[in-house]
Amino acid sequence: MSGADQRLEIAMGKILRIGVTVAALVVLAGGILYILQASGPVPDYSHFDGAPIADKHFGSIFAGALRFQSNSLIECGILLLIATPIVRVLVGVVGSSLLKDWLYTTVSAIVLTVLFLSFFTRR
């Protein structure tokens, strides 16, 4: 493992920690709002009928988060959390290509493609 390799690994570690911290804070903010605004009994979660998040566009989630809607804020935090490992893999692609390690540029690019495939599956 060379010094450049190690720097790439440390950069990956940093991205993960920052991403998780920001995502957790956004989810926490949404959670506090949710608790403050909540009223009535607990909804029945014992039957599956799909979360409303599935029907939303990313744009409307961000718009809702900016208007401090509790669920949109939580959803926004979850999207940030999911984006974190994707950015980590992206850094792997770019970093490996800068190190001219074409084998691992390809390997990371394949992983990145699989991650994107996950977001293009229909119901």
Partner 1 sequence: MNILSFSFAICLTSVIAGFLGALTGLGGGVVIVPVLCLLFKVDLHYAIGASLVSVIATSSGAAAAYVRDGYSNVRIGMFLEVATTLGALLGAYMVAKVSADWIGILFGVVLLYSAFASLHHVAPAPKRIDTNTLAVRLKLRGYYPSQGSKEDYVADHVPAGFGVMFVAGALSGLLGIGSGAVKVLAMDQVMNLPFKVSTTTSNFMIGVTATASAGVYLSRGYILPELAMPVMLGVLAGSLAGSRVLVGAEVKTLRWVFAIVIAALGVEMMFNGLTARL
| Residue 85 contacts partner 1 per CB under 8 A | yes
The only residue of 41, 59, 67, 100 in contact with partner 1, by rule CB under 8 A:
41
Given its phi and psi angles, is residue 43 left (phi above 0), alpha (psi -120 to 50 degrees) or beta? beta
Residue 25 CB, shortest distance to partner 1, in Å, is: 10
Please report, as residue ranges, which positions from 96 to 115 form the binding site for partner 1 (by CB under 8 A): 103-104, 107-108, 110-111, 114-115
Token output for 74: 């939580």
| Cβ closest to partner 1, residue 28 vs residue 66 | 28
| Residue 65 contacts partner 1 per CB under 8 A | no
- Count CB atoms within 10 A of the CB of residue 113: 10
73's CB contacts (< 8 A; 6+ apart) are 26, 27, 29, 30, 33, 64, 65
Rounded CA Rg of the chain: 18
Identify the sign of the CA torsion 68, 69, 72, 74. Answer: positive
| Residue 17 contacts partner 1 per CB under 8 A | yes
Which residues contribute to the site for partner 1 (CB under 8 A)?
1, 5-6, 8-10, 12-14, 16-17, 19-20, 23-24, 27-28, 30-31, 34-35, 38-42, 45-55, 70-71, 74-75, 78, 81-82, 84-86, 88-89, 92, 103-104, 107-108, 110-111, 114-115, 117-123
